[in-house]
Structure 1
Amino acid sequence: MKTHHINSPFIVTKDISNINGFLLPHILYDKIKTVASYPVKEFYLQDIPEVGDFKFKMYKNAFVNDKLTIQAQLVKKDKEGYLVNITVTKEKSTANHQERICSALFDFPVENKYSTNRTAC
């Protein structure tokens, strides 16, 4: 299987934060759900189906002006579907390493064979 790994930058702005400057969790979830679809796009003829199942865990808060990296990697492909692992990190200013903000695992089902509108000629 070809490795499908995506890195997507994401900057926390004032309009997606609460009054205290914390990134709103639903905004982060929506963004990582979108990025999770990138490694599996080529496997679907039509639109990517809704996520079948997911796990989402927050470790730390992100704040206004934080520069985040959303990493998406296809970790499993089988007849049932595709699993995409997500890790969101931000660079620590005191050291040259990344601090984990959250992680997630998304399960995209195999395309339903009856979902297309193709007709036989």
Structure 2
Amino acid sequence: MKAHHINTPFLVTKEISNANGFLLPHVLYDKIKTVASYPVKEFYLQDIPNIGDFKFKMYKNAFVNDKLTIQAQLVKQDKDGYWVNITVTKAKSNTNHQERICSALFDFPLEKTYESANRTAC
């Protein structure tokens, strides 16, 4: 069984920042959406289905040259699907602490088996 907790580095570059050097939020969202799929890949035979539901919250801005860590963890598995928690952090300068940039929670639904359409009209 593969790891259900993933750490992925992410460097903020000029190409994904605005003119003031702030990381573009849609770029960060797209990246964490991709990373969120990593802990659940082994549970799907085909492609991973689209996300069913999500929560996304920004706490701080990230800037050009910030080295971020995207942490993805499978936090819940039930009959309806899988929930993956995401936390994005960056190291605080001059300390051993991490500051939180954003967090998210993604729902990946189970693949549904569909009933056959063999119904007769009355």
What is the TM-score of this pair, normalised by structure 2?
0.90
1:45-91 deviation per Cα after TM superposition (whole angstroms, max 9, x unaligned): 00000000000000000000000000000000011000000000000
Which runs of at least 4 in structure 1 moved beyond 4 Å after TM superposition?
none
Superposition map of 1:60-99 within 5 A? 60-99=60-99
Q: What is the percentage of aligned positions where both structures have the same residue?
A: 85
Superposition map of 1:1-121 within 5 A? 4-114=4-114
Larger radius of gyration: 2
Unaligned runs of 5+ in 1: 115-121
- For the residue of structure 2 that corresponds to 1:7, the secondary structure is strand
Q: How large is the RMSD of aligned CA atoms in angstroms?
A: 1.4
1:119 corresponding residue in structure 2: none
Q: How many residues align?
A: 114
For 1:85 and 1:28, locate their aligned partners in 2 and report how far apart those are by CA, in whole Å.
15
Unaligned runs of 5+ in 2: 115-122
- Name the amino acid aligned to 2:63: F
For 2:25 and 2:40, locate their aligned partners in 1 and report how far apart those are by CA, in whole Å.
24
- Name the amino acid aligned to 1:75: V
- For the residue of structure 1 that corresponds to 2:20, the secondary structure is coil
For 1:3 and 1:83, locate their aligned partners in 2 and report how far apart those are by CA, in whole Å.
15
What is the TM-score of this pair, normalised by structure 1?
0.91
